[in-house]
Amino acid sequence: MTLVALAAPPTPARPLNVDDFDRFADIGEVQISADGAWVAYVVGTVDRAADEQRSAIWIVRWDGTKQELVTASLKHAGTPRWSPDGRYLAFNGSATDPDESQIMLFDRQSGLTRVLTDVTGDIGDFVWSPDSRRLVFVMVTGAEPPPKEGAPPQPIVIDAAYFKEDKFGYFEKGQRQHLYLANIATAKIDALTSDPQFNDDHPAWAPDGSHIAFVRTHEREADVDGMGDVDVVDAAVGAQASTLVRIFTPNAQHLAWSPDGCLLAFLQGQEPKYVSYMLDRLAVIPAGGGAVRPLSNALDRAIVAYTFENSGSILVSIEDDMTKYPARLDLKTGSIKRLYTLPSVIDGISSAAGHTAVMYTDDRSPVELYALEGRGLRKLTRHNDALMAEINLGSVEELKFSSRDGTEIHGLMVKPPNYQPGRKYPTLVWIHGGPSGQDEHYFSYDQWQFKRQMFAAKGYVVLGINYRGGSGRGSDFAKAIFADWGHLEIEDLQAAVDHVVARGIADPDKLGIGGRSYGGILTDYMIAKDGRFKAAMSIAGDGNPIGMYGTDEYFLPSTWELGPPWRDPDLWMKVSYPLFHADHIHTPTLFIGQSKDFNVPVAGAEQMYQALRTLGVPTELVIYPGEYHDLTRPSFMRDEIERVSAWFDHYVNVVH
């Protein structure tokens, strides 16, 4: 074990630069022990020499006086879970291959770690039994084993509507996801669910240990009707599951029993056609079945995390207008009391024995763990303090302005560290993905906020605009772009540029634009509709949805929203505006894609690149081999930053 001293940081001295990328610690997956004495979490780091990201499990004492490294830095370490008796800390880990992770047990008594499972299937989430004697875990089985060396590859046979997913690849016929029980003492593993008609996920063990709730669907995600079953099964091999309720599938599910076992909480989504406009809502149902009681419908904001505090209240994290804040929800009255008000993002809530640990970040502070005490926060970890003490970040200002139709739009503006009022600055519009999601008071090395601050350090003003379609402003704001992509979002982004130009902040002759995923898609729309930008970059974008039909992992959401192309080809052509109006584009544009991206396949970048090249517009296409939607190889992540930076410096003409 490693004891870490907690030191006070010195005064900031220099601007952020690309070399800092490798030095950040990425904090996540907070889990507090049942007695509230220790908090486990994951620390991700970059191994530049090996050109890979690594992770380790850490624990910190509740009073913040001691931190211990539980594992050495591994290829993968995640999902820390304390046993209820406090003896073990289970986690999913692998020293050699992230795709071969097993459940491992760290014994607090001996200080030793052993491997609990030895399986070939992909392991998902897992949960301890209340008596600490068993684990229930999710595992994918039924895939064809890889061919032996020298043997020819076998065809992939598919029979599902939802048949591919970024990182996981194609879902083969017969491949299913079920629940398994692992005995801690004997390491014996038994199948709890095995019906080949279904896929099972999100297990939650009842407080008395007698049964387990989980989500069951025919598809690997939502069924073709956009729904899924919440089922319960006795915690015994051979038991038959029964359905409590069928609900609209949320964007991110989590099941939890009330401490007295009387209620089961879950998240539910909107009707399927609105699934892309995230607004997960919290609800409960009696343990024996009955009427669903919504808890957060009147809030009109998404619940992004929650945990039972006791049988009478739930702590929640609420996404709201550039923030995520903690609140206490009273189960009896339905009242919601906000617990922290400063602009920040507070997520990853874990509560036990009257103690609550959270992950906290704001515009100037990378994610660290904090104790939530009343309405205040107490810092528990300081993994990034030494690095941040060296760096002078640009200030962040909230923006509010009117779009063309009068709708109020909000966003964030990052200024250079040496910003001088009255001077006009080269300005970049950096568009968040989604469309669900938001630009918020958040800072992390792997988020757009790092890149925004890096460009601010180079002398740019950088805008992050929460255009319509995004979350944080309620259901109507999010659904405003339903089946009308590339319209109101573009007006909102244009209004943002008009606003900062009118204020004398942005130099109208030095404008750039770009984004990743839906941000890349909106970049394609913008340069086809607005010619004032000197340069653009579109990462993992797509200017031709009709040509991508059925090739990405969003086949069902796109069909729910737009219908199939043969039903309304004019609508599909309308949303494919960028490619079919590529002759309107004159902006030098850098297109970037990843060869194994099933989220937004690289063909989206290839088509737009080929169109601009044919038209004689300065363009370049960069493809990162072996990468999924989000880059994981550190050298590629660094390369992307440097290429985008060079592109904007050349065409926006900041660097001569």
CA dihedral 270, 276, 278, 282 (to 10 degrees): 30
| Global confidence as pTM | 0.92
Q: Kindly report, residue by residue over 91-124, the tens digit of the pLDDT.
A: 998 877 777 889 999 999 898 999 999 998 889 9
Statement: residue 389 has pLDDT above 70? yes
Whether residue 558 is contained in a domain is answered as yes
Supply the pLDDT for residue 11: 55
Supply the pLDDT for residue 123: 92
Whether residue 89 is contained in a domain is answered as no
Q: Kindly report, residue by residue over 517-575, the tens digit of the pLDDT.
A: 999 999 999 999 999 999 999 999 999 999 989 899 888 889 999 999 999 999 999 99
Per the structure, how many domains does the chain have?
Answer: 1
**Local confidence band at 446 (pLDDT 50, 70, 90 cut-offs):** low
Supply the pLDDT for residue 3: 41
CA distance 398 to 199: 44
Average confidence score pLDDT of the chain: 91
Which has the minimum average pLDDT: 18-32, 46-60, 382-396, 443-457?
Answer: 443-457
Q: Kindly report, residue by residue over 223-270, the tens digit of the pLDDT.
A: 899 999 999 999 999 999 999 999 999 988 999 999 999 999 999 998
Whether residue 269 is contained in a domain is answered as no
Q: Which domain holds residue 573?
A: 393-653
Supply the pLDDT for residue 173: 84
**Local confidence band at 4 (pLDDT 50, 70, 90 cut-offs):** very low
Whether residue 14 is contained in a domain is answered as no
Statement: residue 1 has pLDDT above 50? no
Whether residue 495 is contained in a domain is answered as yes
**Local confidence band at 74 (pLDDT 50, 70, 90 cut-offs):** confident
Identify which has the larger pLDDT, 647 or 557.
Answer: 647
Report in angstroms the alpha-carbon separations of 486 from 469, 482, 493, 577: 10, 10, 11, 8
Whether residue 69 is contained in a domain is answered as no
Q: Kindly report, residue by residue over 421-433, the tens digit of the pLDDT.
A: 999 999 999 999 8
Q: 322, 472 in Cβ contact below 8 A? A: yes
Q: Residue 315: which H helix or E strand, with range? A: strand 313-320
Burial class (CB in 10 A: 0-12, 13-18, 19+), 94: middle
Q: Kindly report, residue by residue over 162-171, the tens digit of the pLDDT.
A: 888 888 888 8
Q: Kindly report, residue by residue over 567-613, the tens digit of the pLDDT.
A: 999 999 999 999 999 999 999 999 999 999 999 999 999 999 999 99
Supply the pLDDT for residue 447: 57
**Local confidence band at 160 (pLDDT 50, 70, 90 cut-offs):** confident
Whether residue 192 is contained in a domain is answered as no
Beta carbons within 8 Å of 286's beta carbon, 6+ residues apart: 262, 263, 264
What is the CATH classification number for the domain harbouring 529?
3.40.50.1820
Whether residue 28 is contained in a domain is answered as no
Residue 149: CB atoms within 10 A of its CB come to: 5
Q: 147, 159 in Cβ contact below 8 A? A: no
Q: Read off the pLDDT of each residue in 383-409 and give the average, rounded to a whole number.
A: 95
Burial class (CB in 10 A: 0-12, 13-18, 19+), 270: buried
b/e for 180-196, b at 16 or more Cβ within 10 A? bbbebeeeebeebbeee
Bond prior to 9 in cis (omega within 30° of 0) = no
